[in-house]
Amino acid sequence: MKTIRILSIAFVITFLSQLSLSAAGLEEVRKKIDQIICEQLPSGTDVAVMVYDLTDDTTLYAYRENIMCRPASVQKVITSIVALHSLGADYTFETSLRTQGQIGPDSILDGDLYLVGGIDPALSEHELRQMAADLKKAGVKQIKGTLYADISQMDSVYWGTGWCWDDSPASFQPYISPLMVHQGFIGVEVRPTVCLLYTSDAADDLLCVDLGGRRIIKKTNKEDLVRLAHDTIVSP
């Protein structure tokens, strides 16, 4: 199966990266990976593999390592390594409120207020509300100026070199923004207020029933039902 074959490559690569092999042993593992790629993967599979020893600064295995591929979840490994090396394990993403204005005795901020994004991947609505509460505690009840959302920590180029122009993100991987709230998701809650019920019971003269705040509208023919549905949805 395809899944088992891919896992076989992952297992061999993991095995290769964790063990210190002799030259003969390393060559044997390389041949094993070549065999999996050439004989066990489905025809037409696009594969690029590179195993690099960071300690010895040497390449242990490489197969088409310079071709351009979608990084997919492998990118997370590289991103994590770079982040830990450059920022450190104790780094904290910071989203801040800044101003050059002055707070008057009437609790009015005379000046613009900037919400500066720090590319916090876990920024939530709760934290934004907490920032507003902290601003109020600082003595600000009104702003005589403009509230700006500062996303200058990133540029507006969403596509990497070589990406297709229509390579738009899916719902589970939206564009990254310095002020991305809830990982770019928007929650929508829909509750019906009108239920349309078609019935052939012409003897029942009751056309509208109120059940717990929801209207159930009964009509005796489909034409009236369509017209009523249109009037219910479109009319103010």
Pair 158, 207 in one domain: no
Pair 56, 127 in one domain: no
What are the pLDDT tens digits along the chain (236 aa)?
444 444 444 545 555 555 555 677 788 888 888 888 888 778 778 888 888 888 888 888 999 888 877 777 778 888 898 999 999 999 999 999 999 899 998 999 999 999 999 999 889 989 999 999 999 999 999 999 999 999 999 888 877 777 777 777 776 667 788 998 888 777 777 776 555 444 444 434 445 545 454 455 554 455 555 555 444 444 33
Pair 52, 126 in one domain: no
Phi, psi of 77 (to 5 degrees): -65, -45
Cβ neighbours of 203 (radius 10 Å): 6
- Model pLDDT, residue 13: 53
Strand partners, 210: 215
Last residue of a domain, one of 184, 206, 221: 184
Give kind and range of the element (H or E) at residue 33: helix 23-35
Query: Distance between CA atoms of 192 and 211, rounded to whole angstroms?
Result: 12
Residue 52 lies in a domain: yes
Pair 148, 111 in one domain: yes
Would you say the pTM of this structure is higher than 0.75?
no
Query: Distance between CA atoms of 91 and 82, rounded to whole angstroms?
Result: 13
Pair 154, 216 in one domain: no
Pair 143, 210 in one domain: no
Residue 119 tokens, joined = 């590319």
Residue 112 lies in a domain: yes
Query: Distance between CA atoms of 61 and 35, rounded to whole angstroms?
Result: 13
By CB atoms closer than 10 A (0-12, 13-18, 19+), residue 151 is middle
Pair 157, 202 in one domain: no
Residue 10 lies in a domain: yes
Pair 178, 103 in one domain: yes
Pair 130, 206 in one domain: no
Residue 76 lies in a domain: no
Last residue of a domain, one of 145, 161, 184: 184
Residue 60 lies in a domain: yes
Residue 125 lies in a domain: yes
Whichever domain contains 163, its CATH number is 3.50.80
Tally of structural domains, the chain: 3
Residue 131 lies in a domain: yes
Pair 199, 165 in one domain: no
Owning domain of residue 129: 96-184
CB 159 within 8 A of CB 192: no
**Which region, left, alpha or beta, applies to residue 183 given φ > 0 means left and ψ of -120 to 50 means alpha?**
left
Residue 88 lies in a domain: no
DSSP helix/strand/coil, 194: strand
CB 37 within 8 A of CB 9: yes
Task: Look at the chain and count its residues.
Answer: 236
